[in-house]
Amino acid sequence: MFNVPENVKACVEIDPWLKPYAQVLSERRYLADKFYYDITHATADGSEQTLSKFARDAYKSYGLHANPQTKEITYKEWAPNAKNAFLVGDFNNWDKYATQMTGKDEFGNFYLTLPPTDQNEFAIPHDSKLKVMFQLEDNSEIFRIPAWITRATQPSKETKEQFGPAYEGRFWNPPEQYQFRHERPTFNESRDSLRIYEAHIGISSPDPKVTSYKEFTANILPRIQYLGYNCIQLMAIMEHAYYASFGYQVTNFFAASSRFGTPEELKELIDTAHGMGILVLLDVVHSHASKNVEDGLNNFDGSDHQYFHSIASGRGEHPLWDSRLFNYGSFDVQRFLLANLAFYIDVYQFDGFRFDGVTSMLYLHHGVGAGGAFSGDYDEYLSKERSAVDHEALAYLMLANDLVHELLPESAITVAEDVSGYPTLCLPRHTGGAGFDYRLAMALPDMWIKILKEKSDEEWDMANIVYTLTNRRYAEKVVAYAESHDQALVGDKTLAFWLMDAAMYTDMTVLKQSTPVIDRGIALHKMIRLLTHALGGEAYLNFEGNEFGHPEWLDFPNANNGDSYHYARRQFNLVDDNLLRYKFLNDFDRAMQLCERDHQWLNTPQAYVSLKHEVDKVVAFERNGLLFIFNFHPTNSFTDYRIGVDQPGTYRIVLNSDREEYGGHNRIDENVRFHTSDLEWNNRRNFVQVYIPNRTAIILARDQ
């Protein structure tokens, strides 16, 4: 009945429900293939080049570059709306007309080569300030930071008073560049699990200040290694003039944020992480850009449609984010964004990307309003009449995944922040999918917060919890998490605060007996995280500080709080204080990560859930030969509780949330071995009988 084109046949074989939409999927793939062809044949003679070469050639030619042999500096800028271009800065005493660039070519590019000084030194001193000045057709003049600048800094107090708050471009050309010492860790999803620690450099200190790359390297990387995470996701690295934007209003796409330190110090951070066997992902923002004009891309060459859709088109501005939206169908925009990915992989040695705002990119309605209410009906994504998919943005995302996996064949990781559930987003490109390795399981934190806000413990619906945790598309991997930075922001509450509220300020000391509120909070905090970890996905993510139940929200300095840093920090001092109970949650998180490392369940097929008992509040399931048992009942403990298990043998406890060192009550004898009985139970061929106290989770592994 339905003809399935060859280029998406593998995709349809994975999900037969896609069959009626095979032609639409094929057309979308053809558009990506067309972009791919145009890019890989964009050579002077029309010969073919790789996507990697295209992206690398772009970042190595555009922008400012210093030749250490000849001491020449080259500069190339794309500005089709400009008539003339001049480079100005400290090096020429800000003489507007002293250093004119070669007139633009047929593509709108301006060029400049600066010979060395008479002393055979670079004509532009390292870290000196500069800008590009464009003359427009009406002879007006505008000053901009070069679009491909690799360093931009906050203005000094004097400069800010004289010229305003715009950031300043810098020529980064250090005499001693950082040399990487460690190989990248490899990553193979069939062999390795992915345990992600989401972090923001600036807040990574108990002190009310902006933490530096060096401080993060010295103080936070060892914590991450100790906890057992094997991947870090760094937020807010791409330069953003407004700190309180959390890094999501990018002004300078090739500049690593200077408020945390220098580019060389970021390289050292990543290299040190690699030496610890830890992968590093960049939270990349290609979904939109800051509206800033003087220090961003907005109106860069005097037009509003150079990098973005025009305002008049109705597609140039995000309706909620007050930001500009890229024109992903433009060859020049594709070059800029793909080169941006290659730059961070090559220059800083990032191992992949978490793509921010993928839902906004995928749809013309950006997931806003009625259009963003996704029910899961395939027509919403794939119907020619009903879907509002931005085909050019989807094609760009396919190219981006092609590029990242081409550049990093041994370690590439791409994660999509998509709440819509777009089918095939996380299927490989060769099958007809978009090529992401993972998508964030964004429904999970919403579920947990809704439960904690609206349900008493007796009302928890075990079946609904399990359904939400396991409801994901076949063969499309997800990153499970109980909370991320979104749930830590001001106006919301972390899970720990939902559980324990103000008692965290008075009752977390071990010098007095635990209260019912704290006892419940610590127990459920551990269980929620372990259940999410074990059942919710094929990778796991934690936002820094949440592993030990950080007591406060996150609020960056802004006008509303008097520019205070009081909440723009993570209080690691709490977990280091042996007199406080935060250490229990921290140590359980470590035990959970190390248990997964040693026994592995994330990179294995979904669990088989054998029990969801609504009265007893018990959930049991098997995954990769492990038996997971959770008793969420607020008061009832169960002796000789029968749990079905498929594989016969002798089982032992490998993780127990009730240990005293995890803030539990030590009610379980971990020396006990559990022998299976050859009798079918809950559709499993055998069963074991266990003691499972209230608000406790255990993991059993079979003795080999």
Q: Active-site positions?
A: 356, 417
Question: Which of 269, 245, 273, 240 is CA-nearest to residue 257?
Answer: 240
Give residues with Cβ within 8 angstroms of 406, minimum separation 6: 50, 51, 52
The C-alpha atoms of residue 69 and residue 648 are separated, in whole angstroms, by 69
- Which element (helix H / strand E) includes 57? helix 51-61
Structure tokens, 114: 């600066």
The C-alpha atoms of residue 251 and residue 242 are separated, in whole angstroms, by 9
Q: Are 151 and 124 in contact (CB under 8 A)?
A: no
The dihedral sign for the CA sequence 646, 648, 654, 659:
positive
The C-alpha atoms of residue 212 and residue 293 are separated, in whole angstroms, by 27
Residue with tokens 């990153």: 479
What backbone torsions phi and psi does residue 16 show, to the nearest 5 degrees? -60, -20
Distance (Å) of CA 275 to CA 186, 217, 230, 411: 12, 12, 11, 15
Structure tokens, 462: 């075990």
* 3-state DSSP of 627-650: EEEEECCCCCCEEEEEEEECCCCE
* 3-state DSSP of 379-421: HHHHCCCCCCECHHHHHHHHHHHHHHHHHCCCCCEEEECCCCC
Structure tokens, 94: 């800000």
At 479, the amino acid letter reads V
**Cα angle: 611, vertex 616, 617; to 5 degrees:** 70
Range 457-478 burial, b when 16+ CB lie within 10 A, else e: beebebeebbebbeebbeebbb
**Cα angle: 448, vertex 450, 454; to 5 degrees:** 125
Question: Which of 649, 644, 638 is CA-nearest to residue 679?
Answer: 644
The C-alpha atoms of residue 249 and residue 234 are separated, in whole angstroms, by 15
Q: Are strands 608-613 and 539-543 parallel, antiparallel or unpaired?
A: unpaired
Give residues with Cβ within 8 angstroms of 654, minimum separation 6: 595, 598, 599, 626, 699, 700, 701
What backbone torsions phi and psi does residue 324 show, to the nearest 5 degrees? -95, 150
Tell me which long-range contacts 675-683 makes (C-beta under 8 A, separation of at least 24).
675/649, 675/650, 675/651, 676/645, 676/647, 676/648, 676/649, 676/650, 676/651, 678/648, 680/644, 681/642, 681/643, 681/644, 682/610, 682/611, 682/620, 682/643, 682/644, 683/610, 683/644
- DSSP secondary structure letters along 308-373: B--TTTT-SB-TTT--B-B-TT-HHHHHHHHHHHHHHHHTS---EEEETTHHHHHBTTTT-GGGG-
Q: Are 427 and 12 in contact (CB under 8 A)?
A: no
What backbone torsions phi and psi does residue 301 show, to the nearest 5 degrees? -105, 20
Question: Which of 212, 307, 308 is CA-nearest to residue 260?
Answer: 212
Provide the Cα torsion 604, 606, 607, 611; round to 10°.
180
Residue with tokens 């690699």: 274
The dihedral sign for the CA sequence 15, 16, 22, 26:
positive
Residue with tokens 């901009």: 144
